[in-house]
Amino acid sequence: MEFTTVHLMRHGEVENPEGVLYGRLPYFGLTPLGKEMAQKVADYLVAERRDITHVIASPLLRAQQSALPTARAYDLPIEVDPRLMEAGNDFEGMQINKNRWQLLHPRNWGLYTHPNRPSWGEPYADIASRMTAAISSALEEARGHEALVVSHQLPIVTVQRFLEGRPLSHIPTRRQCALASLTSLLFEGNTLIGWSYAEPAMELVQEAKDMNPGASKAATNR
């Protein structure tokens, strides 16, 4: 039976001096530190002798830039999969970390009617569906080898929770999905037999700013 590993990578630190919830907005690329984080991931995969045969990324700029060092290290093209896109969010474009009280403005009350879905953005179930479909495609492409799949925090956390059978709704500050982290899924044939989590750029994360640091040591980008 063949073994295949699909590594879900979160992008590195994003250039976002205004602290905007960038979501799916274009043109938000990596900082120099974020690019260094992406290189750390590539170096880690090479040092670990990981058999990467496919590099696949969300179409957003920060994901493409995060995939680049690994694609170069393995002399591979970057394949684009829109199913790896960041989750949709009705608060996109707002500076939510600078003034959390704005979330309580009456104009936003209607967005909180179903917090477990959630009603302010793309449903968790839809995120899980498209992400598992993207992972299945990566599994098929890299059969017997390994794939690096670059996505975003909420989509990756949704996969983690789905695989563990936990409710998809959760407290964002408890997410285990640091900048440039790897959530690695090991398959035997088509069956998931285990998964692991690693932070190849851990020492850089401590210097970084993140819109939602989760459980990591990054500072909150305000």
Residue 140 belongs to domain with CATH number? 3.40.50.1240
Q: How many whole angstroms separate alpha carbon 147 and alpha carbon 7?
A: 6
Residue 117 is predicted with a pLDDT of 83
Q: How many whole angstroms separate alpha carbon 201 and alpha carbon 110?
A: 39
Number of domains making up the chain = 1
Residue 154 is predicted with a pLDDT of 97
Cα dihedral value 60, 66, 67, 68, nearest 10: 110
Residue keyed to tokens 């690994």: 70
Q: Which helix (H) or strand (E) holds 161?
A: helix 153-164
Using pLDDT thresholds of 50, 70 and 90, give the confidence band for residue 130: very high
Q: Which residue has the higher pLDDT, 1 or 15?
A: 15
Mean pLDDT of the chain: 93
Cα 198 to the center of its chain, rounded Å: 13
Read off the tokens for 45: 């995969």
Average pLDDT over residues 5-34: 96
Instruction: Judge whether 123 and 87 are in contact, CB under 8 Å.
Output: no
Residue 89 is predicted with a pLDDT of 86
pLDDT exceeds cutoff 80 at 116: no
pLDDT exceeds cutoff 80 at 196: yes
39 pairs with which residues across the strands?
A: none
Residue 111 is predicted with a pLDDT of 59
What percentage of the chain has pLDDT greater than the value 70? 93
Cα dihedral value 38, 41, 42, 48, nearest 10: 180
Residue type, 30: L
Residue type, 21: L
The lowest-confidence range among 96-105, 150-159, 191-200 is 96-105
Q: Which residue has the higher pLDDT, 197 or 108?
A: 197
Containing structural domain, residue 62: 3-220
Residue 96 is predicted with a pLDDT of 72
Read off the tokens for 81: 């999969």
Q: What is the largest CA-CA distance in the chain?
A: 57
Q: How many whole angstroms separate alpha carbon 159 and alpha carbon 162?
A: 5
The lowest-confidence range among 65-69, 109-113, 170-174 is 109-113
**pTM score, whole prediction:** 0.94
Q: How many whole angstroms separate alpha carbon 158 and alpha carbon 217?
A: 21
What percentage of the chain has pLDDT greater than the value 90? 79
Is 191 strand, coil or helix? strand
Rg (CA), the chain: 17
Q: What is the pLDDT of residues 45-61, one digit of tens each?
A: 999 999 999 999 999 99
Residue 101 is predicted with a pLDDT of 58
